[in-house]
Amino acid sequence: MSDIEAIKHKYLDEIAAVSTGDALEAIRVAALGKKGEISLLLKTLGKMTPEERQTEGPKINGARQAVADAIAARKEAMESEALNARLATEKLDMTLPPPSAPKGSIHPVSQVMDELAEIFADLGFSVATGPEIEDDWHNFTALNIPETHPARAMHDTFYFPVPEGSEELPKLLRTHTSPVQIRTMVDVAKKTGGSGEPIYLIAPGRTYRSDSDATHTPMFHQVEGLVIDKGIHMGHLKWTLETFVRAFFERDDIELRLRPSYFPFTEPSAEVDVGFSVENGRRIIGGDARSNEGGWMEILGSGMVHPNVIRNCGLDPDVWQGFAFGCGIDRLAMLKYGMDDLRAFFDGDLRWAEHYGFGALDVPTLSGGVGA
């Protein structure tokens, strides 16, 4: 065996025996590095006679190529061995149960809003929304509550600061969702050039009053309803509210009682009570309100839209009449689902949300029972 053959085989043996990347790299440097044994042999070619070069050149180059190929092959083999070793130890057991993922739930207020939308959609009402930061005109003036009206004091309004020297009335956080209906009526009047068209809508959303105790939070939710059409009267109002309350509490034996009241934006105005009774020691909405344990509970305010309000929005009150009502959503949720502390609604305690919340797929439907 020539010297070159011997050198080649020495390296091939070493390469076959090596077991780490570092050791393989050391062999590469010793054989093929700048001062490697085979690299130095290649440099001797220059000093040879052409005849010698003819025979030695292929041998030396062949040895260099063979060693380089062996190193590459060994490297690839070691990498796949390492991968196989990892695959063997890091095997996933697909039969193990997966770790449980935290699951969100639908807040009772959102659930009730969805139920309201479902019930009123069935009666031909759409859902309207609007800004929570309002101006004085949409929140008060248009609703027949002029600047000096005592009803303003009843609202405990949150006002925004006014820039110094400005003559403008302060912006405010809406104290009810009525401005949404005002905006709709104004839009309809504009769109129809004052001639008007029927309006059937509910406006659910956040409202704000500077009030805080066990039954009041500074932010709360309200739903208002508005009907504007020709020949609308109190009978339509009472039927609509009765139908709504029976669908919402999912009982047909719920009675309503309308009591005369006062709101600046309705005339006449009525407070609406629902009858309750006691079943199995628990107070429930519906049943015989006139029984010993029964009684009446106020849940809504309502009335015929004041002609001034219709006129303020650009419609003719001699042509268009309507009714409106307002109701606290948080209170509806408490009554239906048995929560007793309003403040817990907005504390963000996940245990409360988990206990009272609804599954994402518990979509209210009339056929399934809106609260199913």
Contacting residues toward ligand 2NL, per CB under 6 A? 178, 181-182, 222, 224, 226, 263, 265-266, 301-303, 305, 309, 324-328
Smaller CB separation from ligand 2NL, 31 or 272: 272
Give min distance, CB of 176 to ligand 2NL, in A. 6
CB of 246 closer than 8 Å to CB of 261: no
User: Which residue number has the CB closest to ligand 2NL?
Assistant: 326
Nearer to ligand 2NL, 70 or 258 (CB): 258
Minimum distance from CB of 178 to ligand 2NL (Å)? Answer: 4
CB closer to ligand 2NL out of 178 and 277 = 178
What are 220's strand-pairing partners? 207
The whole-angstrom separation of Cα 184 and Cα 128 is: 8
Judged by beta carbon, residue 63 or residue 226, the one nearer ligand 2NL is 226
- Of 217 and 302, the one with the shorter C-beta distance to ligand 2NL is 302
Q: Please, what is the minimum distance in Å from the beta carbon of residue 161 to ligand 2NL? A: 27
Nearest distance, CB of residue 351 and ligand 2NL, angstroms:
30
Looking only at the bridges linking them, the beta strands covering 172-173 and 266-279 are: unpaired
Its sign, for the CA torsion 137, 142, 145, 151, is negative
Task: Report the distance separating Cα 196 and Cα 232, nearest Å.
Answer: 15
CA separation for the pair 138, 300 (Å, rounded): 22
CB under 8 Å to 24, separation ≥6 — which residues? 15, 18, 71, 74, 75, 78
| Shortest spacing between CB 275 and ligand 2NL, in angstroms | 19
Tokens at 57, concatenated? 């050149």
Give the shortest CB-138-to-ligand 2NL separation in angstroms. 10
Closer by beta carbon to ligand 2NL, 111 or else 178: 178
Question: Three-state SS string across 177-215, please?
Answer: CHHHHHHHHHHHHHHCCCCCCCEEEEEEEEEECCCCECC
Nearer to ligand 2NL, 11 or 323 (CB): 323
Q: Strand 133-134 to strand 321-328: parallel, antiparallel, or no bridges (unpaired)?
A: unpaired
The answer to whether 215 touches 328, Cβ cutoff 8 Å, is no
Query: In sequence order, what are the residues at sequence separation of 6 or more whose Cβ sits closer than 8 angstroms to the Cβ of residue 286?
Result: 249, 251, 253, 254, 274, 275, 276, 277
Task: For the CB of residue 159, give the shortest distance to ligand 2NL in the complex, in Å.
Answer: 21
